[in-house]
Amino acid sequence: MLIDTYGRVATDLRVSLTDRCNLRCTYCMPEEGLQWLAKPDLLTDDEIVRLIRIAVTELGVTEVRFTGGEPLLRPGLVGIVERCAALAPRPQMSLTTNGIGLARTASALRDAGLDRVNVSLDTLRPEVFQALTRRKRHDDVLRGLDAARTAGLTPVKVNAVLMPGLNDDEAPDLLAWAVENDYELRFIEQMPLDAQHGWKRDGMITAGDILTSLRTRFTLTAEDGGERGSAPAERWLVDGGPARVGVIASVTRPFCRACDRTRLTADGQVRTCLFAREESDLRGALRSGAPDEEIARLWRLAMWGKKAGSGLDDPSFLQPDRPMSAIGG
């Protein structure tokens, strides 16, 4: 079990498979990209599967989310999914992706055992997509979403970040489109995880702003009385249901008290929080020949030291040294 001093138990593992990405989203990295991790620093496929096996069989993890960077850029992705699907107990497995390349891999991932996907798409307008991502790949993302739905990687969730002056007027249009196409839309507040450290709280679109905009066109009813537990998204029924929309308000309505996540970076570091500035090295132990029991002990020790919250409201808050592409979304 991965428990901390506040009694929270981590059962949800986020695994970053690569820090590389084929987009250059303005809220994530600069236009010229970043200095990528050297290949020898990355965990191998065998190392990733071993750590996931330890997490599932020794530490009580029940859900695994593959992230990046862009995880579809990992050559061994399908094989990793297939090997993890064979674990007993079998974890629920999902993937967070920008959708580029999903059209050609969705069926293979489903056959390997992947359960569902989250696809990032911030706009319905190709020109705005290009401004946000600095790439002309809007049609590729739409094809990827359609392929995921056809393959049965459902519910297909769409993650959208609204940025002032670019797509902050699109919330109702995005929701109407998601409902029509049977996708579950989730808006995510922009977080201080950009490599440029240009995030400003007073310039972000908040959960309150998003809900106000949505309610100009839709009736939203809080699902399950508004209790979200450890789920990051607060969810609402749209016009009575069954369609739903979620808002992940990591900045203005944090869910730290019920957090059930543990994270592995692409280079084998345990992170207890997306906003942590400290990491615990498992790669070194793996490569020095440590047995599973020692790896599990180090992981438990790392999680025992998890802080009460993200610290975003602390005046002394500092962004993580590593950007989101390196630590996993």
Instruction: Pick the more confident residue, 250 or 158.
Output: 158
Q: What is the mean pLDDT of the chain?
A: 89
Distance CA 154, CA 147 (A): 11
- Tens digits of per-residue pLDDT, 67-92? 988 999 999 999 999 999 999 999 99
Q: How far apart are CA 61 and CA 260, in angstroms?
A: 10
pLDDT, residue 227, reads 55
The string of DSSP letters for 201-258 reads GGGSPPHHHHHHHHTTT--EEEGGGG--TT-S-EEEEETTSS-EEEEE-TTTS--GGG
CA distance 140 to 107: 16
The response to whether 25 counts as a known ligand-binding position is: yes
- On whether 244 is known to bind a ligand per the annotation, the reply is no
Give the burial class of 252: count Cβ atoms within 10 A of its Cβ; 0-12 exposed, 13-18 middle, 19 or more buried: middle
205-250: per-residue pLDDT in tens? 899 999 999 999 999 999 876 555 556 789 999 999 899 999 988 7
pLDDT > 70: percent of the chain: 86
Span of 93-97, 109-113, 304-308 with lowest mean pLDDT: 304-308
Q: What is the pLDDT of residue 253?
A: 80
Q: Residue 125: is its pLDDT beyond 90? A: yes
Whether the pLDDT of residue 162 is over 70: the answer is yes
Can you list the alpha helix ranges (DSSP code H) found in 29-137?
45-58, 77-85, 102-112, 126-133
pLDDT recorded at residue 192: 57
Q: Consult the annotation and say whether 246 binds a ligand.
A: no
Q: Is 125 annotated as a binding residue?
A: no
Averaged pLDDT, 248-266: 87
State pLDDT tens for residues 38-55: 899 999 999 999 999 999
C-beta of residue 301 within 8 angstroms of C-beta of residue 267: no
Please indicate if the annotation marks 84 as binding a ligand. no
Is 253 among the annotated ligand-binding positions?
no
pLDDT of residue 320: 63
- 80, two tokens: 């990793």
Q: What is the pLDDT of residues 289-315, one digit of tens each?
A: 999 999 999 999 999 999 887 666 666
Q: Is 6 annotated as a binding residue?
A: no
Tell me, what's the pLDDT at 61? 98
Residue 25 has pLDDT above 80, yes or no: no
pLDDT class of 323 with cuts at 50, 70, 90: low
Who's near 197: CB < 8 A, 6+ residues apart?
Answer: 319
Q: E-strand spans in 25-176? A: 63-67, 92-97, 116-120, 157-160
Phi-psi region of 7 (alpha: psi -120 to 50; beta: other; left: phi over 0): left
**Percentage of the residues of the chain whose pLDDT score is greater than 90:** 69
Task: Tell me the pTM.
Answer: 0.91
**Residue-level pLDDT at 198:** 55
149 has pLDDT over 70: yes
pLDDT value, residue 37: 83
- What whole-number distance in Å separates Cα of residue 16 and Cα of residue 61? 16
263 is in an annotated binding site: yes
- At residue 323, the 3 state secondary structure works out as coil
Position 23 scores a pLDDT of 83
pLDDT at 309: 74
According to the annotation, is 27 in a ligand binding site? yes
Strand partners, 3: 9
3-state helix, strand, coil in the chain (%, to 5): 35, 15, 50
